[in-house]
Amino acid sequence: MFSSRPSPDPLKGLLAGVAGGLAAAWVMERFQALVPQETFAALLGGGQAGQQGGDGQEGEPATVKTAEAISEGVLGHDLTKREKAWAGPAVHYAFGSSVGAAYGVTAEYAPEVTEGAGLPFGAAVWLLADEGAVLALGLSDAPWTFPPSTHVYALASHLVYGLTAEGVRRAVRALLG
């Protein structure tokens, strides 16, 4: 029996996944810039939305806190305000491309993960990373301390990530043959 599906190639899957993850991280940032959390909360009729912050530093994203922890733990260096401005996005793109890489390789061997145009993937990243790991690592307060609109906004942002990651992964993988 012949299959139109190419045989799995982990390197091509990795490259396509990294490209998808990077593009998706960028598009997710653009979505958040175009539709700020406060606007989203108002559209939902929710209360005041707050940034997640585990140490009481309102407005400091988990990506910046991660960059600080890495810099302090590995280099023994406290990040300056200027360094935080690029370190937070660097963590965001590193995470986005890493998760995209894992997704791309997984898609080579289990193509069913790509069903749903990447939306289930985005929801899984939201649940495991944003709602799970961020809390477990002490980068956020408990989920119930935030209004529901904050969680819905984060989910929407990650759905945008998943949709973009899958679209770009699929296109790059097709180009790679």
Could you tell me if residue 87 is inside a domain?
Answer: no
Mean pLDDT of 92-105: 97
pTM of the model: 0.84
Q: How would residue 95 be classed by pLDDT, with cut points 50, 70 and 90?
A: very high
Residue 27 in any domain: the answer is yes
Q: What's the mean pLDDT in 104-111?
A: 97
Residue 173 CA to residue 126 CA, distance in Å, equals: 24
Model confidence at 103: pLDDT above 50: yes
Q: Are 161 and 125 in contact (CB under 8 A)?
A: yes
| 85 domain-assigned | no
Task: Find the mean pLDDT for residues 91-114.
Answer: 96
Q: Would you give the DSSP letter of residue 73?
A: I
Residue 162 CB neighbour total at 10 angstroms: 27
Task: State the total domains in the chain.
Answer: 1
Residue 141 covered by a domain: yes
CB neighbours of residue 100 within 10 Å: 30
Could you count the other beta carbons within 10 Å of the beta carbon of residue 171? Answer: 14
The overall average pLDDT reported for the chain is: 87
Q: Is residue 82 part of a domain?
A: no
pLDDT value of residue 49: 47
**Per residue in 35-74, pLDDT tens?**
888 888 787 775 554 444 333 345 688 888 888 888 888 8
Encode pLDDT of 117-151 as tens digits.
Answer: 999 999 999 999 988 888 888 888 888 888 888 88
Task: Report the C-alpha gap between 135 and 130 in whole angstroms.
Answer: 8
C-alpha distance from residue 122 to each of 26, 81, 96, 127 (Å) = 14, 30, 11, 9
